[in-house]
Amino acid sequence: MYSCISMKQVTIGKKKVYPLTIPSGIITTEASTIEKYARDIPELGIITTKTIGPEPRPGNIEPILHQYEPGSFVNAVGLKNPGCKAFAKKLENINFPEDKYLLISVMGASTEDFCQVITTLEKYADGFELNLSCPHAKGYGQQIGEDPKLVYEIVKAVTSITKKQVFAKLSPNVKDIAQIAEAAMNAGAYGITAINTVGPDEVKNSDGHPILSNKKGGRSGKATLPFGLEAVKKITDKLGNIPILGMGGIRSAEDIRAYQNSGAKLFGIGSSLAGLDDHQIIKYFRTLAQDLENNSNHAKNQLTTVDMSYTQTKVTNKIDCAPDFKIIEFDLHLKALPAEFIFVWLPGTAEKPFSILNDAPLTLAIQERGGCTKSINALKAGDNVYIRGPHGKSITELSHKHLVLVGGGSGIAGLYIFAKHFATTHKITTLLGAKDKDHIFYQDEFRKFGDVHIATEDGSIGTKGYVTELLNELNLDTDVCFLNCGPKPMIEALIAIQSQITSNENILSSIDYLTMCGVGICGSCANANGTRSCVSGPFLSVASRLP
């Protein structure tokens, strides 16, 4: 049996912190989430950022993540980031605790790139992690990190311009990881991060379509545990007692003990957290710390299983509401609950998330915003698509007996299942708003469950004006719950009115945040409070949205 590691703090530079982190590119990718997790999870002594480059990088289009077996993933985000100048402004606006260590991950195609990013972010960082290991971004990461001479040059240049600790993040996909680690340490690195993802590999669905838009991606999660342990042991055998941040497949205290016995002193837990909301992650790390103190192994039981599988279906009907707006029915019946959403995947094009307008049959309202939605709206009856989900945190109980559903534009689609689900137990009032009559839909279906009020900007149907004006006309008592779905400006205007009527926890809103993975890993859907809407929402109370 492995010896027990206690949750004692370790010293990195001038700071003494707990030895746990979430690896780069997972969950803490937005500034708001960095602040939230640094504040709310005591056991996370190190907060690692997404990888930041000298200029903005859009990354790959979705799908960017897929679970190919339980607990194991393949991903190709494509080093998506806002660039170092924009990221510096984001860090400027958060309160980062003094007792935590901010490890900023850095990328570049040259020595000059790395130095530029580090110079720009120097004042915010406690330390830097050099991404010399991403396996699927051409010209970056692993293509640089497999050359010991180039690694030496980059680390030497970086350590000559910063007094902060520098970790070199290495790939398991090289001939001799220990040789690369030795080059980094000889150049002045403080420590080594091992490992990044394994691969790249291609994963196809049952019909032979490559799932990732990039086709190939790096493997992470449960299956990478032996690769991480082997890499850490090889580095330790060659270099002895050096600071190593070990990661790859960690799910439990037992896994951390295995990494410790291989030579790691710091530990990263990432893909294992898929599907967990913030409260569940807080509980997980608390239990993990107790396991490390008590030589137990309970934390792994708090992890969950996500379903990212695809179901093939066909288009059965399409209603052309407007040139840029369609309602599409599919040959698929889902058992969806209020607030859940799905992804539509067109192989070779992209995938996007959508509210479920109706679940029997699956019906979606598609507003064209880009290439993917335009391609979906171009589908004809009989065309094949792939669906994954439902995802999201369902809402099946609401204590207040009067529900006011407020939808704007395509946001109307997120409300019908609420009306259908709660019609027998609650009074339903629905407010629908859009720019014109062609973008108001399902009003007859909503009327089956209660009163419906409509506003259009051009007055072509209902009241001329905005849906907020309809709200002002209702005589509501305090025993009411609001469910809002639509664009952010509309929801902010609604909340200003609704908060005068009822308390914040009775105002639930779904805003169209960027949602890429749907299982909480990429962190792209974090709101201003750092809450990831794909696992905690998409309907969030005003109370949860406040900073």
Number of domains the chain contains: 3
Residue 355 CA, distance from chain mean position:
17
| Average pLDDT for 372-386 | 96
Whether residue 173 is contained in a domain is answered as yes
- Looking at the structure, tell me whether residues 383 and 428 fall in a common domain: no
CA dihedral 325, 330, 336, 338 (to 10 degrees): 20
Q: Which of 221, 283, 285, 281 is nearest to 253 (CA)?
A: 285
- Looking at the structure, tell me whether residues 279 and 335 fall in a common domain: no
pLDDT interval class at 145 (50, 70, 90): low
| Average pLDDT for 125-143 | 69
| Average pLDDT for 460-487 | 91
For the chain, give percent helix, strand, coil, nearest 5. 30, 30, 40
| Average pLDDT for 524-537 | 94
Work out whether strand 427-434 and strand 402-408 pair parallel, antiparallel, or are unpaired: parallel
Q: What per-residue confidence (pLDDT) applies to 135?
A: 46
Q: Which two tokens stand for residue 349?
A: 């094009």
Query: What letter represents residue 89's amino acid?
Result: K
Q: Which of 184, 214, 182 is nearest to 80 (CA)?
A: 214
Alpha-carbon separation of residue 181 from 46, 108, 188, 417, 519 (angstroms): 21, 18, 11, 55, 33
Q: Is the pLDDT of residue 520 over 50?
A: yes
Active site residues: 134
Whether residue 517 is contained in a domain is answered as no
Q: Which helix (H) or strand (E) holds 432?
A: strand 427-434
Q: What is the mean pLDDT of the chain?
A: 93
Q: What per-residue confidence (pLDDT) applies to 76?
A: 94
Domain boundary among 299, 330, 347: 299
Lowest mean pLDDT among 153-162, 275-284, 513-522: 513-522
| Average pLDDT for 158-166 | 97
DSSP class of residue 106 equals: E
Q: What is the CATH number of the domain that holds 27?
A: 3.20.20.70
Q: Is the peptide bond before 487 cis (omega within 30 degrees of 0)?
A: no
- Looking at the structure, tell me whether residues 17 and 100 fall in a common domain: yes
Contact of 328 with 363, CB cutoff 8 Å? yes
- Looking at the structure, tell me whether residues 145 and 251 fall in a common domain: yes
Q: Which helix (H) or strand (E) holds 267?
A: strand 266-268
Q: Is the pLDDT of residue 350 over 50?
A: yes
Q: What per-residue confidence (pLDDT) applies to 544?
A: 61
| Average pLDDT for 89-107 | 96
| Average pLDDT for 484-494 | 94
Q: What is the CATH number of the domain that holds 372?
A: 2.40.30.10
Helix pair 31-40, 84-92: axis angle to 10 deg: 40
Q: Is the pLDDT of residue 4 over 80?
A: no
Q: What per-residue confidence (pLDDT) applies to 142?
A: 52
Q: Is the pLDDT of residue 138 over 50?
A: no
Domain boundary among 334, 365, 391: 391
| Average pLDDT for 258-269 | 97
Give me the percent of the chain exceeding a pLDDT of 70.
96
Q: What is the CATH number of the domain that holds 480?
A: 3.40.50.80
- Looking at the structure, tell me whether residues 293 and 326 fall in a common domain: no
Work out whether strand 480-486 and strand 507-511 pair parallel, antiparallel, or are unpaired: parallel
- Looking at the structure, tell me whether residues 335 and 278 fall in a common domain: no
Q: Provide the residue range defining the domain that includes 450.
A: 402-512
Whether residue 412 is contained in a domain is answered as yes
| Residue 173 φ then ψ, to 5° | -95, 20
Whether residue 414 is contained in a domain is answered as yes
Whether residue 330 is contained in a domain is answered as yes
pTM: 0.93
Contact of 474 with 404, CB cutoff 8 Å? yes
Q: What per-residue confidence (pLDDT) applies to 476?
A: 84
Domain boundary among 249, 279, 299: 299
- Looking at the structure, tell me whether residues 153 and 284 fall in a common domain: yes
SS3 431: strand
Q: Which of 433, 331, 434 is nearest to 379 (CA)?
A: 331
The answer for residues whose C-beta is within 8 angstroms of residue 3's C-beta and 6 or more apart is 257, 260, 261
Q: Is the pLDDT of residue 360 over 60?
A: yes
CA dihedral 113, 118, 121, 123 (to 10 degrees): -160
| Average pLDDT for 138-159 | 78
What's the rounded Cα separation, in Å, for the pair 307 and 319? 30
What's the rounded Cα separation, in Å, for the pair 268 and 366? 39
Whether residue 527 is contained in a domain is answered as no
- Looking at the structure, tell me whether residues 370 and 457 fall in a common domain: no
Q: Which two tokens stand for residue 489?
A: 């400006």
- Looking at the structure, tell me whether residues 78 and 225 fall in a common domain: yes
Query: What letter represents residue 534's amino acid?
Result: C
- Looking at the structure, tell me whether residues 383 and 427 fall in a common domain: no
| Average pLDDT for 286-305 | 95
pLDDT interval class at 206 (50, 70, 90): confident
Place of tokens 């103190």: 293
Q: What per-residue confidence (pLDDT) applies to 322?
A: 94
Q: What per-residue confidence (pLDDT) applies to 325?
A: 96
Whether residue 525 is contained in a domain is answered as no
3-state secondary structure 153-213: HHHHHHHCCCCCEEEEEECCCCCCHHHHHHHHHHCCCCEEEECCCEEEEECECCCCCECCC
| Average pLDDT for 105-110 | 92
- Looking at the structure, tell me whether residues 145 and 33 fall in a common domain: yes
What's the rounded Cα separation, in Å, for the pair 230 and 174? 13
pLDDT interval class at 432 (50, 70, 90): very high
| Average pLDDT for 262-278 | 97
Whether residue 419 is contained in a domain is answered as yes
pLDDT interval class at 143 (50, 70, 90): low
pLDDT interval class at 546 (50, 70, 90): very low
The predicted-structure confidence for 34-65, as pLDDT tens digits, reads as follows 999 999 999 999 999 999 999 999 999 999 99
Q: Is the peptide bond before 56 cis (omega within 30 degrees of 0)?
A: no
pLDDT interval class at 5 (50, 70, 90): low
The DSSP bridge partners found for residue 66 are 74
Lowest mean pLDDT among 95-109, 145-159, 232-246, 339-353: 145-159
Q: Is the pLDDT of residue 441 over 80?
A: yes
| Average pLDDT for 234-262 | 97
Q: What would you measure as the largest C-alpha separation in the chain, in angstroms?
A: 75
Q: What per-residue confidence (pLDDT) applies to 3?
A: 45
| Average pLDDT for 309-326 | 96
Q: Is the pLDDT of residue 139 over 70?
A: no
- Looking at the structure, tell me whether residues 186 and 288 fall in a common domain: yes
Q: Is the pLDDT of residue 509 over 80?
A: yes
What's the rounded Cα separation, in Å, for the pair 197 and 99? 29
